[in-house]
Structure 1
């Protein structure tokens, strides 16, 4: 299903493997899915600068949850076929959804809202959310390897640990632990873990989750994170918009979190507005834009669903894989 009612955002066009949907066309696929989150729920789920409206939830998220629910049912049916063939008792394996995209594109808020909505479906009430931040190497290791300025690049992650986590979740182990990352401390929290216990759905959110390799090296072996995904979503936007959102988020954090003595970025607390913008723009272009262009954006067409954001952060166009 395609529509010509809206121009392609930023001149981008979907690859031939994906069908293009306007926002209105996509909203029409909601069917009768009810909205079961209150305004208070949405307020609690929103990010620092990423404002998700009720309209966004109704027109974008609810059709998406309907699509994902259909996929979950189909996946369970295929699993039962294999179990019947092998003559074993049915195993209810977690359905794993990946959420990828640039820094500051709104992945965290998107994943939180998606988790809350999927958990309202009676078929899969247990939905867990894990971010790849927990699989970053600790600051000590990054400093030893000279990688602090490449944090978020593929080589900054403990890929074997990430693969082991996903493999254990997929194998339906009773309890699987993921390290916890503190954005305030800008480091892994020693001795602290998030425990995942046989969820119906796992949402796995991060920058480079759709990578085919670890920065071109073979450290991760032949198995990559995307081997474990049942469905993948890529949040996309024009680079100029993402840069603007990144700078706005940096400014908001400078006025709040950076003021705390425990913040890794406490030394930025007294920057003037102009200085904060200059520092944020430098970090964006030197680190995050480089990572986006070299590692993240090249994985976009591997996603089952690409969601293209407009300058106002709302989804304007969607590309859904058909082939």
Structure 2
């Protein structure tokens, strides 16, 4: 005889409301200054001390547990295999849609993790630098698919992560200019043996971005997906586009300077068109399907603040 319980879906996640989550808060030994907030949040993404204290500090303490166990396991593994490998970085992947607030999450997390009692060295890398240069995207006829899996040099990303996980003393990362909308060929970021490395990008959990059977996410020790209802993401994207049209796009050096003189109505139509032709298909085909591959999901409200947290059960 069947029962309703037999048909109940058992989620691999534990769900926390914001009220429940903030009660898990531990206290950091140092506080973030109010003036730091402007350096941490992106355009049109509000950030408050309350958000940091109620969402990100508990998250930092949860990650502290994982980092500590990771380091213990690494030491035990060295002993078991009779080797003397130096410490390796704990790698955190952060994924989510365009305009959902991944960059803000990554910057805030970098800040609060660095304030933990052990004072870890935390570095942040975005996958934008691993996009193929525009000239290569044009050659492949995929410039209008920038951000899709095929627009990234996945081999280069995997090599970078492999070097990091091999304990290489210095690893370079290509840099990307949002002003020029292209990879900067002569500029690199040098990463020197961090305790924690945060890798942020829309593509980092995608299962079809693989080479020789290896996924980018195979190198992650913890992964976070920044989530929101699509209607909210679309609204944020349109608002950001309009804000950029009135500011950054006015710079004649900007790749998007061609949009600088659009009227408000034309700007709205252009933003909606770009969303529907590029960002929406990428979200549904490549990004959203990776949501439940993450270890933790931050679900945001229409006001850009986290309202719910899902944590994978252990």
| TM-score tier after normalising by the smaller chain length | over 0.9
CA distance in 1, matches of 2:84, 2:138: 49
1:145 alignment counterpart? 140
User: Which deviates more from structure 2 when the two are superposed, residues 134-143 or residues 33-42?
Assistant: 33-42
CA distance in 1, matches of 2:132, 2:117: 37
Is 1:319 aligned to residue 310 of structure 2? yes
Is 1:250 aligned to residue 241 of structure 2? yes
How far the C-alpha of 1:34 sits from its partner, in A, is 4.9
Is 1:277 aligned to residue 268 of structure 2? yes
2:116 alignment counterpart? 121
Deviations 1:22-54 (A, max 9, x none): 000000001333562100011221211111111
Give the unaligned 5+ runs of structure 1. Answer: 1-13
2:213 alignment counterpart? 222
**Residue of 75, 93, 98 corresponding to 1:98:** 93
Count of aligned pairs? 306
How far the C-alpha of 1:122 sits from its partner, in A, is 3.6
Q: CA RMSD in A?
A: 1.3
Could you say what secondary structure the match of 1:30 adopts? coil
How far the C-alpha of 1:125 sits from its partner, in A, is 2.6
Deviations 1:70-92 (A, max 9, x none): 11000001111111111222521
CA distance in 2, matches of 1:130, 1:33: 24
Give the unaligned 5+ runs of structure 2. Answer: 1-8
Task: Sort the Cα spacing of 1:31 and 1:119 in 2 relative to 1 into closer, same or farther, 3 A.
Answer: closer
Is 1:210 aligned to residue 205 of structure 2? yes
1:187 alignment counterpart? 182
State whether residues 46 and 109 of structure 1, in contact with CA within 8 Å, keep that contact through their aligned partners in structure 2: yes
CA distance in 2, matches of 1:52, 1:63: 16
CA distance in 2, matches of 1:291, 1:90: 40
State whether residues 29 and 115 of structure 2, in contact with CA within 8 Å, keep that contact through their aligned partners in structure 1: no
Could you say what secondary structure the match of 1:319 adopts? strand
CA distance in 1, matches of 2:285, 2:30: 38
1:235 alignment counterpart? 226
Deviations 1:271-292 (A, max 9, x none): 1111101100110111001100
Q: Could you list the structure 1 runs, at least 4 aligned residues long, displaced by more than 4 angstroms after superposition.
A: none
State whether residues 92 and 222 of structure 2, in contact with CA within 8 Å, keep that contact through their aligned partners in structure 1: yes
Is 1:259 aligned to residue 250 of structure 2? yes
CA distance in 2, matches of 1:37, 1:93: 27
1:66 alignment counterpart? 61
CA distance in 1, matches of 2:28, 2:14: 22
TM-score w.r.t. the length of structure 1 is 0.92
State whether residues 35 and 58 of structure 1, in contact with CA within 8 Å, keep that contact through their aligned partners in structure 2: no
Could you say what secondary structure the match of 1:29 adopts? coil
